[in-house]
C-alpha cells in the first residue's frame, strides 16, 4: 500500500535521457548515473513508458530494486501503451535506439490500468508512488487536445483517483509541457501534483501568474521538469527541444552575463530559482552520465549571493512576484 506522497525533494532525477533522448546512453553510463544520484542523496525519480519505449523504466527499475522501497519516490506516466513492433526507424519521437515497441495514445481507464501493470513489470517494483497522465496537451495533439483531455478526465483520472482512495498510489496528476491543461485539470478534477516541464524557469515564467496561485489555493504541489529549458540554460542551443529562437538565445546570454559578474554558474541559478517557489515539491533535471548528476547536485547546493537575484530582478529577467532563495 502507498501512503500520501513523500516528495523527497527538492532535487530529483528526470528519466528521459535514460531512454536515449536524442542520443544513445550506454548501459554502463545509465547505471552509473543512477548510482551517482543515490550517492548524491537524490530520492525522487521520474520516468515514463514513452522514454525509449520502456527503456528508461527498465534502467531505473534495475537500479532502484537494489534500494529499500520506502526510501525513495518513483513516478511514471500513463497515456501511452506499448505494442511490440518490427522494422522501426532508428529514431522515434526524439528517442534513438529505443526498445522495439510502438507507442499508442490511450487515456482511458482501461488503458491506464494496463499501463501501470506494464510499468510495474518493466521496473520490477511493487508499486508506483505518483502517476502522471502524460502529454494530454496541444503540443502533442494540436486542437484535439481538449477532446483528449475529456477522455483523460473521464477515464484515466477517474481510475487513478480510485487507486489513490485505495492507497495503491500516493497521488496522481498531469505530466505536460503546458500550463493550460493543468488549469483544466484543476478545474475539473482533484490532482495531487502537476509535473510541468519548461514553464517555470529563468527563461520562461508562464506558470507564475495563474498556475502556481491555483495550485496553492487547492493544496496541489508542482514538480518541475526541464529546468534548463532542454539545454539553453545549460550552455546548449535548444529551447523546448527545438533550435532556440534568437530572442531566447539573447535572453539566456544576458542571464549568463549577470551570473558571470557574480561568479555564479548559470545552472546553479536556474535550479535554485525553480526550487524557491513554495508550490514546487521537486525539480527533476535529466542526466546522461554520473558527472552530470553530480553537477546537478552541486549546482543546487552552490552558494549564490543575494545581489545576483537583485540584479536579475532589477533588469526584468526575474519577475517581481517570483520568489528567490
DSSP 61-121: HHHHTTS-GGG-EEEEEESEEEEE-SS--SEETTEES--SEEEEE--SHHHHHHHHHHHHH
Percent of the chain with pLDDT over 70: 99
Query: pTM of the entire structure?
Result: 0.96
Percent of the chain with pLDDT over 90: 95
Task: Retrieve residue 237's grid coordinates.
Answer: 542551443
Task: Please list, in sequence order, all residues whose beta carbon lies within 8 angstroms of the beta carbon of residue 182, skipping any fewer than 6 positions away.
Answer: 174, 176, 194, 196, 211
Number of Cα atoms under 13 Å in the Cβ half of residue 241: 13
**54-102 tens-digit pLDDT:** 999 999 999 999 999 999 999 999 999 999 999 999 999 999 999 999 9
Mean pLDDT, the chain, integer: 96
51 is catalytic: yes
Q: State the pLDDT confidence band at 180, using cuts at 50, 70 and 90.
A: very high
Task: Retrieve residue 14's grid coordinates.
Answer: 528526470
**3-46 tens-digit pLDDT:** 567 899 999 999 999 999 999 999 999 999 999 999 999 999 99
pLDDT of residue 4: 61
Task: Give the span between the Cα atoms of 5 and 43, in whole angstroms.
Answer: 12
Task: Say if residue 190's pLDDT is above 90.
Answer: yes
Mean pLDDT of 210-220: 98
Q: State the pLDDT confidence band at 306, using cuts at 50, 70 and 90.
A: very high
Whether residue 153 contacts residue 96, with contact meaning beta carbons closer than 8 Å, is answered with no
Task: Say if residue 1's pLDDT is above 50.
Answer: no
Q: Which residues of 224-236 are buried (b: 16+ CB within 10 A; e: fewer)?
A: bbbbbbbbbbbee
Domains of the chain: 13-227+275-290 (3.20.20.100)
Whole-number Cα distances in Å, 36 to 32, 46, 154, 293, 303: 6, 16, 40, 6, 22
Q: Of these residues, 29, 45, 46, 204, which one is catalytic?
A: 46
Instruction: Give the other-Cβ count within 10 Å of 82's Cβ.
Output: 22
Whether residue 80 contacts residue 104, with contact meaning beta carbons closer than 8 Å, is answered with yes
pLDDT of residue 3: 55
Mean pLDDT of 205-212: 98
77 is catalytic: yes
Task: Say if residue 2's pLDDT is above 60.
Answer: no
Q: Of these residues, 29, 45, 77, 107, which one is catalytic?
A: 77
Strand arrangement of the beta sheet that strand 171-176 belongs to: 13-14, 44-46, 73-78, 130-134, 171-176, 193-197, 221-225, 280-283
pLDDT of residue 26: 98
Among 30-34, 229-233, 252-256, 306-310, name the one with the lowest average pLDDT.
229-233
Instruction: Give the other-Cβ count within 10 Å of 181's Cβ.
Output: 26
**158-176 tens-digit pLDDT:** 999 999 999 999 999 999 9
Q: Of these residues, 35, 39, 45, 51, which one is catalytic?
A: 51
267 is catalytic: no
Mean pLDDT of 176-188: 98
* Residue 162, phi-psi category: left (phi > 0), alpha (psi -120 to 50), beta (remainder): alpha
Amino acid at each position: 500500500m502507498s501512503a500520501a506522497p513523500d516528495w523527497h525533494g527538492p532535487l530529483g532525477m528526470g528519466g528521459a535521457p535514460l531512454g536515449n533522448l536524442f542520443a544513445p546512453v550506454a548501459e554502463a553510463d545509465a547505471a552509473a548515473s543512477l548510482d551517482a544520484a543515490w550517492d548524491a542523496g537524490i530520492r525522487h525519480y521520474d520516468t515514463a513508458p514513452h522514454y525509449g519505449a520502456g527503456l528508461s523504466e527498465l534502467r531505473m527499475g534495475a537500479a532502484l530494486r537494489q534500494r529499500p522501497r520506502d526510501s525513495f519516490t518513483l513516478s511514471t506516466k500513463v497515456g501511452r501503451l506499448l505494442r511490440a513492433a518490427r522494422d522501426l526507424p532508428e529514431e522515434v519521437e526524439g528517442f534513438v535506439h529505443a526498445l522495439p515497441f510502438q507507442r499508442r495514445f490511450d487515456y482511458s481507464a482501461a488503458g491506464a490500468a494496463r499501463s501501470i501493470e506494464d510499468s510495474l513489470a518493466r521496473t520490477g517494483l511493487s508499486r508506483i508512488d505518483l502517476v502522471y497522465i502524460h502529454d494530454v496537451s496541444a503540443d502533442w495533439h494540436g486542437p484535439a487536445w481538449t477532446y483528449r483531455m475529456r477522455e483523460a478526465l473521464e477515464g484515466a483520472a477517474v481510475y487513478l483517483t480510485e487507486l489513490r482512495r485505495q492507497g495503491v498510489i500516493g497521488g496522481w496528476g498531469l505530466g505536460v509541457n503546458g500550463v493550460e491543461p493543468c488549469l483544466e485539470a484543476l478545474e475539473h478534477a482533484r490532482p495531487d501534483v502537476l509535473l510541468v516541464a519548461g514553464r517555470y524557469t529563468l527563461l520562461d515564467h508562464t506558470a507564475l501568474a495563474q498556475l502556481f496561485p491555483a495550485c496553492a489555493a487547492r493544496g496541489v504541489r508542482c514538480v518541475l521538469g526541464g529546468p534548463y529549458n532542454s539545454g539553453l540554460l545549460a550552455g546548449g542551443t535548444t529551447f523546448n527541444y527545438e533550435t532556440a529562437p534568437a530572442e531566447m538565445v539573447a535572453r539566456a546570454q544576458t542571464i549568463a552575463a549577470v551570473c558571470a559578474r557574480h561568479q555564479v554558474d548559470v545552472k546553479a541559478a536556474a535550479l535554485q530559482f525553480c526550487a524557491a517557489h513554495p508550490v514546487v515539491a521537486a525539480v527533476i533535471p535529466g542526466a546522461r552520465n554520473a558527472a552530470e548528476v553530480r553537477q546537478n547536485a552541486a549546482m543546487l547546493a552552490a552558494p549564490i549571493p543575494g545581489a545576483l537575484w537583485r540584479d536579475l530582478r532589477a533588469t526584468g529577467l526575474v519577475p517581481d512576484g517570483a520568489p528567490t532563495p
